Amino acid sequence: MAKCGKQLDTPLGIFGGTFDPIHNGHIFPTLEAAKITSINKIALTPCFIPSHKNAATASSQQRLRMVKEVCKDYPVFYPEPLDINRNKPTYSVDTLSELRAKFPNTPLCFFIGTDSLISIFKWHKWQNLFELCHFVVCIRNGEAVYNQVGSAEDQLMLNNLLQQRQVQDPINLHKALAGHIYMANTSPLNISSSVIRRMLSTNQSVEKLVPTSVNQYLRQHKLYQQGSKL
Ligand code: ATP
User: Given this model, what pLDDT does residue 87 score?
Assistant: 86
Fold classification of 12-189 is Rossmann fold (3.40.50)
User: Given this model, what pLDDT does residue 6 score?
Assistant: 72
Contact residues of ligand 1, CB 6 A cut-off: 17-20, 25-26, 29, 112-113, 115-116, 138, 140, 189, 191-194
Position 105 pLDDT exceeds 90: yes
pLDDT tens per residue across span 109-157: 999 999 999 989 999 999 999 999 999 999 997 666 666 677 888 889 9
Closest protein CA for atom 30 of ligand 1: 113
State how far the alpha carbon of 28 is from the alpha carbons of 2, 35, 66, 190, 213, in Å: 29, 11, 16, 11, 15
Closest protein CA for atom 6 of ligand 1: 192
Indicate the domain borders of the chain.
12-189
Which residue type is seen at 180? Answer: H
Pairing of strands 176-178, 2-3: antiparallel
Cβ contact 140:111 at 8 Å: no
Pairing of strands 181-184, 12-17: unpaired
- For residue 15, name the pLDDT band (cuts at 50, 70, 90): very high
Which backbone phi and psi does 212 adopt, to 5 degrees?
A: -55, -40
User: Given this model, what pLDDT does residue 152 score?
Assistant: 86
- Dist. CA 153 → ligand 1 center (Å): 24
Q: What is the number of the ligand 1 atom nearest to the C-alpha of 22?
A: 10
pTM attached to this predicted model:
0.94
Q: Which of 57, 70, 186, 192 to mutate to test the pocket of ligand 1 (most atoms within 8 A of CB)?
A: 192
